[in-house]
Amino acid sequence: MSSLVGQRVWLVGASSGIGAALAEELHERGAIVAVSARRADRLDELSRGRFATVPVDVTDHDAVLEGARQVGETIGPIDTVVWCAGYWHTFDATDWQAEEFARHVEVNLLGLGHVIDATVPEMVARGRGHLVGVASVAGYRGLSGAEAYAATKSAQITLLESMRASLSAKGVRVTTVCPGFVRTEMTESNSFPMPFIIDADEAAREIADGLESGRPEIVFPWPMAVTMKLARLLPVRAWTALSSRLAGRS
């Protein structure tokens, strides 16, 4: 078990949803928390003087570098950085939206890269640290209607897995978090069924428990974890037929 007490945590993407709930949970478990997101007013509402707040647009590389510097000055060297920012807009290949696809890549993938650049080199230099990336079970298989989202989440999973192998000998741990459906602002407008959906507070507890137990991969809730891991084993034709049927395209 690895205690969170006294750990200096920078949580990026904390203005709502899982990120906001996780900031509360980590604080309750004794972590020293700094939170970032674009919406400064939401950060202030969340913090109520308990967390350091550093507004950051993750798509702006220079702003992320400056944000990391400010966090370091405020709470000290970052022990753990948690990527929890994300963008979701549903569209599919029958009505391709190039600008929306680019936005997914800018936030979900390039944004993560900016945060990695701002934190991991220093961790490597110190010989210790922890990179935590919140991806999604949507990254396990291609999903109709989530072409952009699933693609960027799959890329996050693979990136973090690759970094885990690269950093394991450098004293830097890497944890991949793959939630299923969680009740947040991002999912409240979804019109399709969301099986096994949980509240953000429950998601935050799952993540914090996983961090304390030292798991390299945290996937929840368990029924969705089992479902999507089994889905990865299906042959391509079987998955195509199933996902097409689920999307109402057959």
Domains and CATH numbers, the chain: 8-246 (3.40.50.720)
Compute how many other C-beta atoms are within 10 angstroms of the C-beta atom of residue 47. 17
Q: Rounded mean pLDDT of 139-150?
A: 87
With bands split at pLDDT 50, 70 and 90, how would you rate the model's confidence at 144?
confident
Please say if the pLDDT value at position 36 is more than 80: yes
Q: What is the pLDDT of residue 194?
A: 59
Catalytic, 87? Answer no
203-213 per-position pLDDT tens digit: 999 999 999 99
Band the pLDDT of 190: cuts 50, 70, 90. Answer: low
pLDDT of residue 148: 93
Give the C-alpha separation, 196 to 98, whole Å. Answer: 31
Residue range 179-208: average pLDDT? 77
Catalytic residue among 10, 149, 181, 220: 149
Q: Which amino acid belongs to residue 204?
A: A
Q: How high is the pLDDT of residue 185?
A: 64
Per the model's pLDDT, the better-predicted residue between 31 and 186 turns out to be 31
How many other C-beta atoms can be found within 10 angstroms of the C-beta atom of residue 29? 17
- DSSP for 6-60, written as a single string: T-EEEEES-SSHHHHHHHHHHHHTT-EEEEE-S-HHHHHHHHTTSSEE----TT-
Q: Percentage of the chain with pLDDT > 90?
A: 70
Residue-wise pLDDT tens digits, 215-226: 999 999 888 888
Identify each DSSP E strand in 157-212 by its residue range: 172-179, 182-183, 198-199
Model pTM above 0.95:
no
